[in-house]
Structure 1
């Protein structure tokens, strides 16, 4: 039980840092913040999925399967979420690189100002 509390605090700190980065002006920091937020969600899912401790609770079905079985669904969801977050991060990086090529800056306020010149 103490491990879940500790991991919940770690997940809270990671998400706090991610929200701080997402609210910044730099486009690269926003991308890092979204990646950090997705990692925080992955940790939250794996923590709430429940991992047994010790030899008395193996993760596989066996002779003592009643108390040692772990639901594989959170692990499958996390694996899928990792692949999706990698694709989204790659798309964000390409989008940011293209925006930097066009506008010459990664500052969000300058990007908004330069958008007014296009109209």
Structure 2
């Protein structure tokens, strides 16, 4: 039963695996660029999952064609709108994180978060 469910919904399983990869990358890496990549993988997994949940097989995009106005003929446009909005926000957040990373690198000449923390503690004394 569980294997059959997994095989029928492998797309959702892929999204969850991607999210796990991104989350573990975010937690375990010490390099700031690798952490940003992990966060982007998590974002992508979330958007994939939302897009999969919004898709209904056999339905079309919500654009009235040939006078068909039946709600059952179209997919819900809200998940795709959320995905597009999320992509715009994540690009902005990524740009901000990369700019802050550049500033940290210029000041401390390293991208290792532990090394930056150590140097910050030394500066505070």
Q: Which structure 2 residue ranges, 5 or more long, are not aligned? A: none
Preserved CA contact (<8 Å) 1:4 1:48: no
Aligned length: 116
Paired residues for 1:1-119 under 5 Å: 5-23=9-27, 24-53=29-58, 57-60=59-62, 61=64, 62-63=67-68, 65-119=70-124
TM-score (norm 1): 0.87
Where in structure 1 do 4 or more consecutive aligned residues deviate above 6 Å? 1-4
Preserved CA contact (<8 Å) 2:25 2:35: yes
Instruction: Report the RMSD for the aligned CA atoms in angstroms.
Output: 2.1
What's the CA shift for 1:44?
Answer: 0.9
Q: CA-to-partner distance for each residue in 1:1-47, whole Å, 9 max, x for gaps?
A: 88871111110111111012101111111000111111111011111
Q: Which structure 1 residue ranges, 5 or more long, are not aligned? A: none
